[in-house]
Amino acid sequence: MAQTKRVSLLGATGSIGNSTLSLLKQRCDEMPDFKVVSLTAQKNVEALALAAIETKAEFVAIADDAKYSRLKELLHGSDTEVGAGEAGLNDAAARECDTLVSAITGAAALRPTLEGVKQGANIALANKESIVCAGKLFLEAARKFNSKILPVDSEHNAIFQVLDNEKRVEKLILTASGGPFRTTSLEEMKLATPEQAVAHPNWSMGAKISVDSASMMNKSLELIEAHYLFEMPQEKIDVLIHPQSIIHSLVSYDDGSVLAQLGMPDMCTPISYALSWPTRMPVPGVERLDLGKIGNLSFERPDLKKFKALEIARQALEMGSWGPNVFNAVNEIAVEAFLKKRIGFIDITSTTEKVLNRFASNEFGIMTDPVNFDDVFELDKQARRIAEEQIQA
Ligand code: NDP
């Protein structure tokens, strides 16, 4: 039997968290080659306790301190230790493990994910926001602590599977479904509700990433993620709309060859690849790709007038590493405001653009790149505050 892999999971009650748990439960039961070390959630204490019992996790942490006693109560009599708050989350990530799955939403994942990096664990990275806001520093830390970043985002996972850096890469091509508003007019998009925005045609995901997909902020964050992760200049990263979400991304080489990774849109495949890397493990539950049944795959270029986020992301990258830091923070605040119906759908992108430009015009002082993580957190905090003010204005 292969050596048992110790796995921790940040964001165990979310969409990625649930898919990861389904894989882990199967592997722990049928062939005990995985051991669950720690699990975390923000407030969903019932689901977290159930997951801890089912996986016999060593440690669980709930970010919301107020839920600590309820979690203790639910796990009374089990061997699982319990923690809470930011310290609890960091403890969960710092527990010795082979692979840390980072699946918390937003920049809130950065601190605990860094704990995993510091212990030299492999990081199965679903959370794109941490690499967007701290790109260079995050990768430097990974190199320093010998922590391997294994992308879980399906596009980056696809590129990771087919990228051969020894060969000359001409381009990375990130595919995008186009989201629920691909064929919607700009006028109609202005009236879009949160319910319409979260109704993704192909993927079932958490609310924040679903809204990001609808505005193409998700692809914009992915563009930045790919730039850092694969050390690729942004001019060499293209975005291509592919509504069926079968080709998860492509790498174009300078001999004219284009390599792609294909599969049904099911996050269990990239998660399992990251969990089992450098080998693969069977995932019987994933529907097999039958191209004969699908018949046609189609492609189109993104409409950059309708989905301005893609161009704003490129501008943010040109500004320096502070640009993506601000871009991400403002988007997080704007998405939250949209979900609470405080702003319209189009305002998400326009708020991000306005605040980014205010920073770029040195309204808040001359912008320089963060030199350490404290700078990243400080800028993130400031950008959130300015974004909130902009929304109120
Ligand atoms: P969900 O909203 O479904 O789940 C988020 C998880 O993180 C939950 O466990 C939630 O706990 C926890 N959480 C949220 N905020 C905090 C916080 N501030 N502190 C601690 N824990 C928190 O999100 P997804 O699973 O859809 O996405 C997670 C990450 O993975 C995102 O970065 C997303 O971009 C990325 N991703 C997701 C994909 C998908 O298919 N869903 C695909 C590719 C990437 P609770 O349930 O208690 O609120």
pLDDT at 143: 98
Q: Which CATH number is 341's domain given?
A: 1.10.1740.10
- Say how many Å lie between the CA of residue 88 and the centre of ligand 1: 17
- Asked whether residue 140 falls in the same domain as residue 190, the answer is no
Q: Pull the structure tokens for residue 12.
A: 């165990």
pLDDT at 28: 66
- Asked whether residue 347 falls in the same domain as residue 370, the answer is yes
Dihedral sign for Cα atoms in the order 302, 131, 333, 341: positive
Please report where in the chains the tokens 């320089």 appear, as a residue: 368
8 Å CB contact between 316 and 323: yes
Examine the fold and report which residue of 151, 181, 199 is the final residue of a domain before the chain moves on. Answer: 151
Number of domains comprising the chain = 3
Q: Pull the structure tokens for residue 307.
A: 């989905």
Q: What is the pLDDT of residues 76-129, one digit of tens each?
A: 999 999 999 999 999 999 999 999 999 999 999 999 999 999 999 999 999 999
Q: Which CATH number is 93's domain given?
A: 3.40.50.720
- Say how many Å lie between the CA of residue 207 and the centre of ligand 1: 9
In this structure, is residue 224 part of a structural domain? yes
pLDDT over 60 at 72, yes or no: yes
Atom of ligand 1 nearest to the CA of 153: 43
What percent of the chain has pLDDT above 70? 98
8 Å CB contact between 266 and 286: yes
- The alpha-carbon radius of gyration of the chain (Å, integer) is 20
Choice from 43, 46, 68, 104 to test ligand 1 binding pocket (greatest atom count within 8 A of CB): 104
Mean of pLDDT values over 278-299: 95
pLDDT over 90 at 239, yes or no: yes
Q: Pull the structure tokens for residue 42.
A: 């923000």
Q: How many CB atoms lie within 10 A of CB 2?
A: 10
In this structure, is residue 278 part of a structural domain? no
- Say how many Å lie between the CA of residue 292 and the centre of ligand 1: 34
Q: What is the pLDDT of residues 170-221, one digit of tens each?
A: 999 999 999 999 999 999 999 999 999 999 888 788 999 999 999 999 999 9
In this structure, is residue 275 part of a structural domain? no
pLDDT over 60 at 306, yes or no: yes
In this structure, is residue 37 part of a structural domain? yes
What residues pair up with 7 in beta bridges, in sequence order? Answer: 36, 99
Instruction: Tell me the pLDDT of the chain averaged across its residues.
Output: 96
- Asked whether residue 11 falls in the same domain as residue 142, the answer is yes
8 Å CB contact between 113 and 123: yes
- Asked whether residue 17 falls in the same domain as residue 91, the answer is yes
- Say how many Å lie between the CA of residue 102 and the centre of ligand 1: 9
Q: What is the pLDDT of residues 339-355, one digit of tens each?
A: 999 999 999 999 999 99
In this structure, is residue 375 part of a structural domain? yes
Mean of pLDDT values over 290-303: 97
Dihedral sign for Cα atoms in the order 219, 224, 230, 233: positive
More confidently predicted of 26 and 169: 169
To the nearest 10 degrees (0 to 180), the angle between helices 345-360 and 309-319 is 20
In this structure, is residue 89 part of a structural domain? yes
pLDDT at 1: 45
Q: What is the pLDDT of residues 26-46, one digit of tens each?
A: 876 666 689 999 999 999 999
In this structure, is residue 328 part of a structural domain? yes
- Say how many Å lie between the CA of residue 58 and the centre of ligand 1: 21
311 to 35, 224, 318, 321: CA distances (angstroms):
43, 11, 11, 16
DSSP helix/strand/coil, 242:
coil
What residues pair up with 258 in beta bridges, in sequence order? Answer: 252
- Asked whether residue 382 falls in the same domain as residue 330, the answer is yes
- Asked whether residue 326 falls in the same domain as residue 197, the answer is no
8 Å CB contact between 57 and 39: yes
- Asked whether residue 122 falls in the same domain as residue 171, the answer is no
- Asked whether residue 253 falls in the same domain as residue 348, the answer is no
The identity of residue 119, as a single letter, is Q
Q: Of all protein residues, whose CA lies closest to atom 21 belonging to ligand 1?
A: 42
In this structure, is residue 279 part of a structural domain? no
At 14, give phi and psi (nearest 5°). -90, -170
Please report where in the chains the tokens 């109609």 appear, as a residue: 188
Pairing of strands 149-151, 99-102: unpaired
The pTM (predicted TM-score) of the whole model is 0.96
- Asked whether residue 210 falls in the same domain as residue 348, the answer is no
Q: Name the E strands within the chain.
A: 5-10, 34-41, 59-62, 81-84, 99-102, 122-125, 149-151, 169-176, 237-241, 247-253, 258-262
Lining ligand 1 with CB less than 6 A are 11-17, 41-44, 63, 103-105, 108, 126-129, 153, 203, 205-206, 209, 267
Examine the fold and report which residue of 106, 135, 151 is the final residue of a domain before the chain moves on. Answer: 151
- Asked whether residue 170 falls in the same domain as residue 114, the answer is no
- Nearest Cα residue to 104 out of 115, 118, 119: 115
Residue 33: give the domain boundaries. 5-151
What residues pair up with 239 in beta bridges, in sequence order? Answer: 174
- Asked whether residue 222 falls in the same domain as residue 337, the answer is no
Q: What is the pLDDT of residues 208-218, one digit of tens each?
A: 999 999 999 99
Q: How confident is the model at residue 166 (pLDDT cuts 50, 70, 90)?
A: confident
Examine the fold and report which residue of 130, 151, 172 is the final residue of a domain before the chain moves on. Answer: 151
- Asked whether residue 383 falls in the same domain as residue 350, the answer is yes
